[in-house]
Amino acid sequence: MGTQLIKELNTQQEWKQAFPLMKHLRTHLDEESYLELVSEAAQKEGYKMAALFESGEMKAVTGFMPMITLYNGRFIWVCDLVTDPDQRSKGYGETLLSYVESWARDNGYSLVSLSSGLQREDAHRFYEGKMEYDKVSYVFLKRF
């Protein structure tokens, strides 16, 4: 195992570098629409992106942002968390999600929340078993 580094990604070039990994999770996006959405979310919503590098190679990436709802109050929403499919089960997701949790605590938040697609059973085991998240709701969606 090489040297690990977690780095916040703040520039268009850094976001572009993360696109091949993010594409595994957000398959519906092309690079152009991805960059537009990340830029807008960062400017308007405080969206942050961070990546875990090992020996200089990006292994996992996350996107998260502060939110306020009546249900959760002030909290951090994990929008995206993805590990290179060839690098799963090596602790990268755990390290990166722990980074988000630390960021939340360090910035005065006491809750981190996320959603996960119904089909992602391995992810559910990870969130509930390894990371000790509680399953508290379903997310519903209506497209127009």
**Contacts for 32 with CB less than 8 Å, ≥ 6 apart:** none
Split the chain (144 residues) into runs of 10 and give each run's mean pLDDT.
91 98 96 98 98 96 97 96 92 96 97 91 90 91 92
pTM listed for this prediction: 0.93
Helix, strand, coil abundance in the chain, percent, nearest 5: 40, 30, 35
CATH number for 4-130 (one of 3.40.50.720, 3.40.630.30, 3.40.50.10490, 3.40.50.10470): it is 3.40.630.30
What's residue 2's pLDDT?
78
DSSP annotation of 12 reads: H
Q: Is 51 helix (H, G, I), strand (E, B) or coil?
A: strand
What's residue 121's pLDDT?
87
- In 3D space, the residue among 86, 92, 116, 102 whose CA is nearest the CA of residue 1 turns out to be 92
